[in-house]
Structure 1
Amino acid sequence: MGEIAGHARVVIIGGGVVGVSALYHLAKAGWTDCVLLEKNELTAGSTWHAAGNVPTFSSSWSVMNMQRYSTELYRGLAEEVDYPMNYHVTGSIRLGHSKERLREFQRVAGMGRYQGMDLDILSPDEITSRYPFAETHDLTGALYDPYDGDIDPAQLTQALAKGARDLGAKIYRFCPATGVRRENDEWVISTEKGEIRCEYVVNAAGYYAREVGKMFGRDMPMMVMSHQYMLFDEVPEVEAWSKENGKKLPLVRDVDSSYYLRQEKNGFNLGPYELNCRAHWTTPDDPMPGDFSFQLFPDDLDRLEWYINDAVERVPLLGTAGLTKTINGPIPYTPDGNPLIGPMPGVPNAFEACVFTFGICQGGGAGKVLAEWVMHGETEWDMWSCDPRRFTGFCDQDYSIAKGKEVYGHEYGMHFPHHAWPAGRNKKLSPVHDRIADLGAQFGAYNGWERANWYARPGDDTSEEATQTWAREGAWFEAVREECLAVRDAAGILDLPGFSRFKVQGPGARDWLNTLITGMAPKPGRIGLGYFADERGRIVTEMSLMALDEDFFFLITAATAQWHDFEWLIKNLPAGSEIIIEDVTEAFACQILTGPKSREILSAVTEADLSKSWLTHQSAQIAGTWCQLVRVSFAGELGWEIHTKVEDTAPVFDAVMQAGQAHGLKPFGMFALNSLRLEKSYRAWKGDLSTDYTMLQGGLERFVKFEKPEFIGKQALLAERQRGVTKRFVTLLVDAGDCDAPYMSTLWHDGKVVGETTSGGWGHRIGKSIALGMVRAELAEPGTVLEVEIFGERFVATVAPDEPLWDPRNERLRA
């Protein structure tokens, strides 16, 4: 093929369905000067051996958006690019064996309806009417998705490739990228056919993404699983049914048994996700080969025996078919099973679109999202669920392998709100970890840090199974109630390791921060919330700004936001600036002491001035060690955050705990903190605060200073204010049943969808179910009666006054 083009705007490394989709979407948006490099032939990685299923189902709002977009794209793609494709929209039946599974289905069906998809819940009898060959005696029901189906992965990839080429983009096959370097603010990609310079580069290398990542100095959070599916002989009854009905059988997923079964021609395709699964290329004795194009692993059917027998019991007709072929190929996994789509952490003008476990069904939407990232630096939908920066430095290979195997073995697992998955734990431990464990702490992982979720009392059921419920039940609920009431009536202490923390200092630091946040940076000695908007006025993040001097700040943000927020600061720092930004997250720790008795407790251990007002901070001594006492409380009570060096956590904790015994001090956990913050309408990042909403929609007008000369998003917010805000943030009091409203529960009014919840839970101080959410602006008036759909049932939800449900005038907070 000769030498390749010497320059392109974007170079994509990897020619599977995702890379080609990204190329197609860039070209379709007008960026035609783009190149894709593939080491072998297109589809040579996971794409060629993929089963080709195209579900829309996801319990993640953003992933469902992405998959829905794919189905819409694929339905019209053959005609649009003039390339024939086998795309069978058969519908699917997802079987449920339990009440909890049916609730999951109801929730996803509600999300799907909101996105314009008519998903339906079937009774066992209705399953038989759509799929007469299934045994249904032990089922509670099923989810029916009419948009599900299967597509030929190779044809899909070639169709996207043709569309991209027709628009002017270039694809070079048998042309591996052999190295990258940064030169004159450009990327130089080395290949066997010459070098190519570009502004942007994309790692879309599938299960080879980790090898490509190493070229950029990045160790990718990923591993590779072997996934087997089996093809079975044709069955006369299947052929007869298809002829009579003029279509293929719906795809069946028995999610509680963990496999899918679909019609393949007139036979079957069975694909299990087994618990006794196998990872590949994990040790020096089993290295990743230089090229595994169009290759498979040897069959390993012994570990699938239980799943095959279970499928035969579910669909006895399968037992009459002979096994004709087994496909055992590599599929990449991240530690949470979602792909990596977005900016490559810490690397300028580099992006990732890789590690897709379900690349065929997500490929169309992923191409759209990736193109938006590259062209605009932001996406239409908030895509934090897939953002590469959600995994920070603790995600080493051991962690990625342990979590990848866990996700694979529980591919259809339900993600209950109070359940903590056990693999890959104890990556980062607080110095008082053992102390709080002895007090009954039940832990959850937050950016690798182990924090107490709740404290078990003697005799409480702390088994994993006890938290596998959507309902307000189990020992954890009563324990959390006691923790909340201790904070209300006396005091509570929460060990909170892992806050992300950035030191910002240097000439002009204050003025620069004021161009980034919508409000104003606090004066020295004070702390305040800073909201960062994008150019569209949407909420990027929230940080606490602690001013130590005129141009010296500590910025404190969520644990999981560490790489995301640090990059936002670095990206917006002017070239040549004297301002220094340091990530000092690993050096500092925090403990929250809050409740009406907290001042009395602190006065016994420090000489600090505890009369200083709310939103102030001061240096102090506790147990002979330095700390920074910050007069804030996310729990909405009188309280302080006690910031220390990590190594000083234990003496401070011990001193406070000892002083607190006479005052009813109790340790409390993250579940209690979540309940307490809901009662104050305090927003949580990437739920209530995300780029799905603008600052004005989010009810954050008081943090927007329009009189400032300039800040990011000002023009968009001025325009929005002038034309009127379409939806608004509300706090809702819900007459709920035994479940609180989860994220993205649909809000109804007069039979119409009018909004969605962004978080929800039980408020133990007020004894009521609470939801935070977004609703059409005209319905945001206090007292408006709405309905919230919780697991398929609608419950009355009343818009609360524009003040906190607990301590509305902040008298306790300011005491």
Structure 2
Amino acid sequence: MNVASQLLEKARVVIVGGGIIGCSVAYHLAKQGWTDIVLLERKKLTSGTTWHAAGLIAQLRSSQAATRLSKYSNDLYVELEAETGVATGLRHNGSVSVALTAARQEELLRTASMARAFGIEVEELSPDGVLEKYPHINLDNVQGGVWLPGDGQGDPANIALALAKGARLKGAKIVEGVRVTGMTSDHRTVRSVEWAAGDQTGSITCDHVVNCGGMWAHEVGQMAGVNVPLHACEHFYIVTESIPDLARLPVLRVPDECAYYKEDAGKILLGAFEPRAKPWGMDGIPDTFEFDQLPEDFDHFEPILAQAIDRVPMLAQAGIHTFFNGPESFTPDDSYHLGPSPEVPNLWVAAGFNSIGIQSAGGAGMALARWMDDGEMPFDLVDVDIARNQTFQRNRRYLKERATESLGLLYADHWPFRQKETARGVRRSPFHAQLADLGAVFGEFAGWERANWFAFPGEPRGYDYSWGPQNWFANAAHEHALIREKCGFYDMSSFGKIKIDGLHAETFLNRVCGGDMSVDVGRIVYTQMLNSRGGVEADVTVTRLSEFSYLMVTPAATLVRDMAWLRRHEDPSDAVFITDMTAAEAVLAVMGPESRKVLQAISPADFSNAAFPFGTAREIDIGLGIARAHRVSYVGELGWEIYIPSDMAAHVLETLIDAETGARPVGLHTMDNCRIERAFRHMGHDITPADHVVEAGLGFAVKTGKPFDFIGKQAVLHKRETGLSRRMLQFRLTDPDAMLYHNEPIVRDGKIVGHIASGAYGHTLGGAMGLGYVPCAGQSVEDSLSARYEIEVAGRRIAAEASFRPMYDPKGERLRM
């Protein structure tokens, strides 16, 4: 067969990989009106992971956006059968999840509340209600459960083949038996894809590439220098012999026993997400791999099976027809990878689906196709954006170690503040050892070990998880009081630092930022980078260091994404240089009413309001070294962020401690608790690319009157002219014992109208705090506040106070003391 005759010499897009994800991307791009679409599959369609997937199709995910994608998949698979004539096997038989502990029951009840906020039909079940839905279950230790009637199951391979047929009918070219062997690129752009089929080779010039390589996506990404961190793990299930007279059943999940049960054609499929998984393919995946199974490991699966036989006793009489072990890919944070790669913007990624590829494929394909067509994220996809990943995460040892934990976390208790246990200690600030000596309890974030809270002398250093106040609650209250009443210091070294230098630095930043960058040297500008719809792509401070040099400071998690956004919007004529300076400087935040006195004790600089006003930065002597002090605050108090060359950082902290000023260390949990009292927004939760900057209450930071056109300007002007459709409010629960985290429903006059975007405990204000959007079309602020508000927490509606202005220091006077 002459493969070259089937392929285009030039394509608009080449899709690599013919599993369900690649087929969905091809289908949706064709549906979007794209032509010259080529999908290359190394073997046969579905032959990697898709063919052996369990085919569970749940609707509810951990965020509103992910739930939207799963619901779309569910609806699409119904339509596909009529459109293509290929049976998808979709069956809406519902699902039951059960809890065996009080903690899991709390999680399920919170999940049910979240489902209502996202518009998913849900019902809480008593133990008897669980038995009614699933009559074969043993109710020992069952606390209760939740019923999702819209969930279902389908035939994974047939769904993929239906998507492939639909893509072909719309003009896409899908060619099997063609392996991608390399890519040629220049100027951060892929120009062509090289392929081989037997002894035939060739290349396709293209405008875009989509990496849907599944388990191979890591290697495919490396062909163009793109980081796609994922690792394959062995995934086990058994299928019983036919069970006589077995009626149709819903899907059953028993996460406390790491098990799920699916009835199909009179048999039961029992699958597991065991606590410690077995990574696979450390030396690469064999070239011959196609519809393959991995060796059985009954000893590894046996503990799951023993519990399952006790939970569903009829399994004891059912013979095992199939013991299956097949590989699936898992990512370091259990979220999949979607979007343009930060390294090569025309190489897109859709991979790493963590065993939810079937339920996600339809929605992920739709979202990526829209993203590619518009050039911007179509709605909030921050949680799955490929650009969230850190460069070091391509490390093979890191991926192998983290994969042992990632698979099991799918069914583990999803505690608030739960910390990863594997592959820790990769990134440490220069203050790490000193903070450990002071009692720091570290958490991991973007690979950084960060001091989250400080243990009291003699107290165990570790998390004791719960849904209520955790073991560090009193510690955080103590640290909170230090910030509000005296002085506390915390490590901000993990925050990203981007240097923008060059002759056109001012012009460039005025084009990509909503704020006015034409300020004096030493001024700090709080600003956002916006998309064309006025959505918030980044929330940053920018300090003018000199005539041709600026420093942008951004959250640790968004550094890679923000660097990519800046580079994507460089004009060829821009004389600018964009450099990641994060590791070059450590940052110590010194905050609280006594912070001026504390800093004056270790520096001869003048920290008075007259000499050092809010929103300015200047170089200072500190101890025996030199640093740069920025007068800004994310906690709502007087304070400075001290930027210190990394080689001098330990000395500066030592100097601060030795001065015995009364300043004490606090953790980043306290920073979060304080910022939410002051209603400061959190990027990724309160503000995302889908949230309009004006509706987020940040219109004050956008300067439409500056003499520069900037991205998003017209959208801001339009919103100001037409009015808001929703606005962000701050909430405080009146029950001081209830806790808010995120996604709890906001209830206005008895009706769910939104959800909490971020939550934390306000120790000064004496209750859990949350920020969230509520509809407000045609309403004044007074109208919005005149309603009766409640927040639903684990099925219980709790009265809440609402405010448009910050409940703590609404005029911002403490920042400027």
* C-alpha spacing 1:498/1:183, structure 2 compared with 1 (3 Å): closer
Partner in structure 2 of residue 668 of structure 1: 666
* In 1: Cα distance, 2:605 partner to 2:132 partner: 73
Partner in structure 1 of residue 807 of structure 2: 805
Write out per-residue CA displacement over residues 460-488 of structure 1, whole angstroms, 9 at most, x where no aligned residue.
Answer: 34444x1x21212x330000000011112
Partner in structure 2 of residue 407 of structure 1: 406
Write out per-residue CA displacement over residues 495-519 of structure 1, whole angstroms, 9 at most, x where no aligned residue.
Answer: 2222111111222321221121222
**8 Å contact kept, 1:456–1:475:** no
Among residues 28, 49, 54, which one is paired with 2:52 in the alignment? 49
Partner in structure 1 of residue 297 of structure 2: 300
Unpaired runs of at least 5, structure 1: 243-247
Helix, strand or coil for the counterpart of 1:504?
strand
Partner in structure 1 of residue 642 of structure 2: 642
**8 Å contact kept, 2:59–2:151:** yes
Aligned-pair CA distance for 1:96? 0.7
Helix, strand or coil for the counterpart of 1:129?
helix
**8 Å contact kept, 2:488–2:590:** yes
* Correspondence 1:515 to 2:514: no
Matches within 5 A, 1:404-803: 404-464=403-463, 466=464, 468-472=465-469, 474-521=470-517, 522-611=519-608, 612-659=612-659, 661=660, 663-708=661-706, 709-736=708-735, 738-777=737-776, 778=779, 780-781=781-782, 782=785, 784-802=787-805
**8 Å contact kept, 1:528–1:546:** yes
Partner in structure 1 of residue 73 of structure 2: 70
Partner in structure 2 of residue 15 of structure 1: 18
Helix, strand or coil for the counterpart of 2:115?
helix
Partner in structure 2 of residue 155 of structure 1: 158
Alignment-mate amino acid for residue 512 of structure 1? F
Among residues 221, 240, 243, which one is paired with 2:229 in the alignment? 221
> Percent identity among equivalent residues?
35
* Correspondence 1:338 to 2:340: no
Aligned-pair CA distance for 1:110? 2.5
Alignment-mate amino acid for residue 535 of structure 2? R
Helix, strand or coil for the counterpart of 1:269?
strand
Unpaired runs of at least 5, structure 2: none
Alignment-mate amino acid for residue 450 of structure 1? E
**8 Å contact kept, 1:783–1:801:** no
Aligned-pair CA distance for 1:322? 0.2
Larger displacement relative to structure 2 (107-116 or 691-700): 107-116
Structure 1: which 4+ aligned runs deviate by more than 6 Å?
none
* In 2: Cα distance, 1:497 partner to 1:223 partner: 29
Among residues 353, 357, 360, which one is paired with 2:358 in the alignment? 360
Write out per-residue CA displacement over residues 282-315 of structure 1, whole angstroms, 9 at most, x where no aligned residue.
Answer: 2xxx442123111110111111111101111111
Helix, strand or coil for the counterpart of 1:813?
helix
Aligned-pair CA distance for 1:744? 2.0
* In 2: Cα distance, 1:401 partner to 1:450 partner: 19
* In 2: Cα distance, 1:310 partner to 1:58 partner: 26
* In 2: Cα distance, 1:71 partner to 1:579 partner: 47
* In 1: Cα distance, 2:60 partner to 2:411 partner: 11
TM-score by length of 2: 0.95
**8 Å contact kept, 2:371–2:377:** yes
Helix, strand or coil for the counterpart of 1:58?
coil
* In 2: Cα distance, 1:104 partner to 1:779 partner: 36
TM-score by length of 1: 0.95
* C-alpha spacing 1:225/1:779, structure 2 compared with 1 (3 Å): farther
**8 Å contact kept, 2:636–2:675:** yes
Partner in structure 2 of residue 205 of structure 1: 213
Alignment-mate amino acid for residue 72 of structure 2? Y
* In 2: Cα distance, 1:692 partner to 1:461 partner: 42
* C-alpha spacing 1:312/1:12, structure 2 compared with 1 (3 Å): same
Partner in structure 2 of residue 245 of structure 1: none
* C-alpha spacing 1:625/1:752, structure 2 compared with 1 (3 Å): same
Among residues 66, 86, 91, which one is paired with 1:88 in the alignment? 91
Helix, strand or coil for the counterpart of 1:256?
helix
Write out per-residue CA displacement over residues 186-210 of structure 1, whole angstroms, 9 at most, x where no aligned residue.
Answer: 5211113522111000110000112
Aligned-pair CA distance for 1:372? 2.1
Alignment-mate amino acid for residue 725 of structure 1? L
* C-alpha spacing 1:635/1:342, structure 2 compared with 1 (3 Å): same
* In 1: Cα distance, 2:276 partner to 2:477 partner: 38
Cα-Cα RMSD:
1.7
* C-alpha spacing 1:83/1:501, structure 2 compared with 1 (3 Å): same
Helix, strand or coil for the counterpart of 2:472?
helix
* In 2: Cα distance, 1:361 partner to 1:303 partner: 27
Number of matched pairs: 798
**8 Å contact kept, 2:15–2:211:** yes
* In 2: Cα distance, 1:566 partner to 1:599 partner: 34
* C-alpha spacing 1:183/1:390, structure 2 compared with 1 (3 Å): closer
Partner in structure 1 of residue 241 of structure 2: 233
**8 Å contact kept, 1:783–1:799:** no
Partner in structure 2 of residue 259 of structure 1: 259
**8 Å contact kept, 2:59–2:67:** yes
Partner in structure 2 of residue 377 of structure 1: 375
Aligned-pair CA distance for 1:219? 4.5
Aligned-pair CA distance for 1:801? 4.7
* In 1: Cα distance, 2:592 partner to 2:171 partner: 64
